[in-house]
Structure 1
Amino acid sequence: MAASAVDRLKLFVIRNAGNIVPSYGPEPGSVSATVEYAVAVLGIHDIVICGHSDCGAMSAISRCTCLDNLPAVANWLRHADAAKVINAAHEYDTLRAKLDGLVRENVIAQLANFRTHPSGALALEQGRMNLHGWVYDIETGGIDALDGATRSFVSLAESPTVVAVDSRNRGRI
């Protein structure tokens, strides 16, 4: 009997402040080890970086909150510096719009960071993986997904097959 799609579904979750995926480096941490295991051992085919509305980590960055008394948090959030700089280059009408923009830019930045991990880069090169960037709206339950072809976020409900990076073309986001 053939296995159903549900039988083949593998879910491996990393949850942390700011949905951060640090770039691969000489001293890999727990996120790097988890990425490597998920991709190289478990053979995960789809990676989802999922941000969410009203994210406390992104809110702290957006408001330039002083984190002097939280040095570990401040150091961790530096992995979102690319998103912070890009978001600051845009103008927003409201603080809420600025935060929403940062959440989306951070998803894009973390997808780029993911691609620096050797196991992820190899799986993408070999066409064994897709990358997805999602933003979950806590209030409505809706999910917007990054369309890598247009670099815009679209409703996942209306575009269920959209991907940020497709294994067939390994395009840039």
Structure 2
Amino acid sequence: MKNRDFTRKPVLNGVKTILRPFEEGDGEQMVPILEELEVRRLTGSASNDDEARKSSTLEEAEHIRVWYATRNASNDRLDLAITDRETGALIGEAVFNEYDENTGNVNFRILIGAAGQGRGIGSEAIALFVRYGFEELDLHRIGLEVYSFNPRAERTYVKNGFVLEGIKREEFAYNGEYIDSKVYGMLRSDYDSRTLHP
């Protein structure tokens, strides 16, 4: 069993993207990404369009800057910036959190702003992050949840080997409409099978 060392913040190189540790000033760039209506809606950060359209207060923006400035010091989770390889622009984040030391299971989150969407960057970022999780951190299971009004993300997760495990019915409400939350997971055996038989 390899050492599940979340203190190490790697650089993961792809064709379209580079995932890297957060750097000074990245928090400032994350503020407008986190303010995008679609980002707020799809991540469940807002419960209606009016709330999603509101700009961050000065206090909220400062909290975001401080949060990203402290990501590299975290030893119980892995947060990496997703960048556009061609331009170097910061376009989102990939995260392993809620790690269970007993089972080797972890939660996965990914967020990409509008500037990085529709070009296959998200799919490549998922593949890079999952590979690091299984091959370097020796994880047992990577799990995630996605709202049912985000079929594009679901297709990308399935394309990358995640399996639908269950549905939390009407767990979220947006603009007064109830939304299901879908639970996806990938086991190390799923990953190994895909690697051996792509």
TM-score by length of 1: 0.33
Bigger fraction of residues in helix: 1
